[in-house]
Structure 1
Amino acid sequence: MIKVENVSKVYNTKSGKVVGVDDVSLEVLKGDIYGIVGYSGAGKSSLIRCMNILERPTSGKIEVDGVDLLQLSSKKLREARQSIGMIFQGFYLASAKTVFDNVAFALKAAGVATTQRKERVMELLDLVGLSDKASHYPAQLSGGQKQRVSIARALANNPKVLLCDEATSALDPSTTKSILKLLKKINQEFGITIVLITHEMEVVKEICDTCAVMQDGRIIEQGPSYDIFANPKEELTKQFIDTILNFDLPAKLLEACKGTILQLQFRGDLASDPVVSDMLQKFKVSANILHGKVEYIKETPLGIFIMELLGDPQEVAEAKLYLEERLKQVEVIQHAR
């Protein structure tokens, strides 16, 4: 659905040239929810604005639904943008217009007849749960409600793609979850491809099929979200994952442990398998669970447990081999003392 090939964006400033996006290539599949994560200044917003040519890339190629946007005339580009909805962090609602008129504006700009506009606007407000707020003004709405209006407006012209630039960063955790649930519903019911910019790994965990990590204008790691969480390669990616799966044990606890301390990773269906119970029945060892957690990466479980194994060194070694055969991901944190 979206192909970004060797895209760079260089800004000319008073202090010299600044590279916002540096030779980025990625592909977003049709119907996918693709997350791009990175800290402020990583180039995320510049990249997503290049995807609909709000920012014209300095070099590279942007293709959406088989159309090379950089080769279009101004008129054709405006037409192409009607199939690309955009949601911004700051909502960008007209304060003097009602909720109804804010949503209707996109339809009016597209030349939709008045009677059809009214029907479509109310349909969209019902979708985002704001049908009772049609006559309200933005100042009368909460942050989450304002973002729902933005989403309704972005969906007005039945886009194939929805670009979300930090759509939840100004919202509290509870409201963020409700907005993510709405985006997920839109993706599933209408098959709309979503690209979501964020600095929160929790957002990626909740709804993204695929994700990319950006740093200094470049993508340093990308792939299926589950694989990124289960086996991050880059140090920055590991830092992001640690915000969700933090397993640092207190030094005093480690000092008190005399056995072998292992970190076990349970992927997918293995998260519910009695692997540890089977191991304890098979080998003459005892185990102390020091830490454990099961997270769901877009509904697929990923379990991580840290435990201390005690017993005869040979039995412990064989138990460890057994766990490695069953789980694949077993790491020794501390050897027996």
Structure 2
Amino acid sequence: MIEVKNLVKVYSTKKNKVIGVDNVSLTIKNGEIFGIVGYSGAGKSTLLRCLNLLERPTSGQVIIDGVDLTTLNKKELRQARLKIGMIFQHFHLVSSKTVFENVAFALKAAKKSKDEIEKRVNELLEMVGLSDKRDAYPSQLSGGQKQRVGIARALANEPTVLLCDEATSALDPSTTKSILALLKKINRELGITIVLITHEMEVVKDICDRIAVMQDGKVIELGTVYDIFTNPKEELTKSFINSVLQFDLPDHLLKKRTGTIVKIQFKGEIAEEAIVSDMLQTFKVKGNILHGKIEYIQDMPLGIFVMELTGDPDEIQRAIDYISLRTNGLEVIASAA
């Protein structure tokens, strides 16, 4: 388990002080994939680098598996870091070394024997799907392949924690999905705790169990991915969600409508029930679906529909009350003229 307690990181310059991380406290459970989300300058990468003390906190504690890293001497910290792997946005591979040699580097630093290194590197290259690239150089690899080498290298010393700093930001969408699938496989099969920094909510939706949203060095919202997506509290979080689940209709389309426009959110199992169909059969209203989509987040459905209701105003209100009661997620966008 990772515990961050009252963590502060301040950068001092000649003219002023800049707060990178501002009194952050959070707990990351063993075996979960935890996302830290925020725009550039929010403090998320600084927080991540504080977790293995690549950035030493100004104050506060970083406790991993019961050990406060901030209290360790240099030798003890080097040993602790062997169990904390890290992968980067730009791979950081040694261009003059082969794939095998890049992965073996961490094992050599840990003073493993030649036979141990040979066996472990071969296992890792098979795990990340690069056995056939063992003798290739980074210049001969695609971006996705380079990141797979980075992942293999980070796993070399069998870490319990894997830190990912914008690990997919330099990749195209298709390659991103394959890397996320690999990280999820590693998490599920090896039980490794993954902490993932990103500004892309699509990445969060695909892989994370819980997320923290950061702004100005602070964590402003924290929760499970499903709860954050279905009920965001902060405006920044809502803007992130809208980048993935965009359901707003253009103004010119709304102006053409004469009925009542409603946006309905269906959470969990309710998303798979025939609530709209039941409503149309129960009340004397007509329904025209203008936009709709069902997303699956952590294998749980989230449905959002925008529809126009026409008919007697009293019947429309009864229909709205019926759906509101069944879904607890209805918003009237425009009332009937």
TM superposition score normalised by structure 1: 0.98
Distance 1:171 1:179 in 2: 9
Code of the aligned partner of 1:143:
G
Q: Match for residue 38 of structure 2?
A: 38
- Number of residue pairs matched by the alignment: 337
Matched position secondary structure for 2:30: coil
Which letter maps to 1:40?
S
1:299 deviation in Å?
2.2
Which ranges of 4 or more aligned residues in structure 1 deviate by more than 3 Å? none
| Distance (Å, rounded) in 2 between the aligned partners of 1:138 and 1:93 | 7
Give the distance between the partners of 1:6 and 1:253, measured in 2 at CA. 49
Return the offset for 1:14: 3.5
Aligned to 1:113: 113
Quote the offset at 1:112 in angstroms.
1.2
For residues 316 and 186 of structure 2, the distance between their equivalents in structure 1, rounded to whole angstroms, comes to: 50
1:288 aligned residue: 288
Moved more, 53-62 or 266-275: 266-275
Partner residue, 1:169: 169
1:85 aligned residue: 85
> Partner amino acid for 1:115?
D
Residue by residue over 1:152-187, the C-alpha shift from the partner in whole angstroms, topping out at 9 and shown as x without a partner, is 000011111100000000001110000000000000
Give the secondary-structure state (helix, strand or coil) at the position aligned to 2:90.
coil
SS of equivalent residue, structure 1 residue 182: helix
Q: Please give the per-residue CA displacement for 1:218-237, whole angstroms capped at 9, x wherever unaligned.
A: 11111101111111111111
Q: Structure 1: which amino acid aligns with 2:292?
A: G
Same amino acid, percent of matched pairs: 66
1:259 to partner: Cα distance: 1.3
1:95-244 maps to which residues of 2 (within 5 A)? 95-244=95-244
* Residue in 2 that maps onto 1:7: 7
**Residues 143/15 of structure 1: CA separation in 2 closer, same or farther (3 Å cut):** farther
Q: Which residue matches 1:248?
A: 248
Q: Secondary structure at the match of 2:244?
A: coil
Deviations 1:61-119 (A, max 9, x none): 10111111111111111111111110111111111110001001111111111101101
Q: What is the one-letter code of the residue matched to 2:160?
A: K
Q: How do 1:240-319 residues align onto structure 2 when only pairs under 5 Å count? A: 240-319=240-319
What secondary structure does 1:243 align onto? helix
What is the CA distance between 1:217 and its match in structure 2? 0.8
Whichever residue aligns with residue 18 of structure 1, its letter is: V
* Cα distance in 2 for residues equivalent to 1:25 and 1:217: 12
Residues 33-72 of structure 1: pairs in structure 2 closer than 5 A:
33-72=33-72
AA in 1 matched with 2:267: R
TM-score (structure 2 length as normaliser): 0.98
RMSD between superposed Cα atoms in Å: 0.9
Offset at 1:246?
A: 1.0
Question: 2:299 is matched by which residue type in structure 1?
Answer: E
Classify the secondary structure of the residue corresponding to 1:276.
helix
Q: Residues 223-261 of structure 1: CA distance to partner in whole angstroms, max 9, x if unpaired? A: 101111111111111111111011221112111111111
What is the identity, as a one-letter code, of the residue corresponding to 2:130?
L
Deviation at 1:321, TM superposition (A): 1.1
Report the CA distance between 1:301 and its aligned residue: 1.4
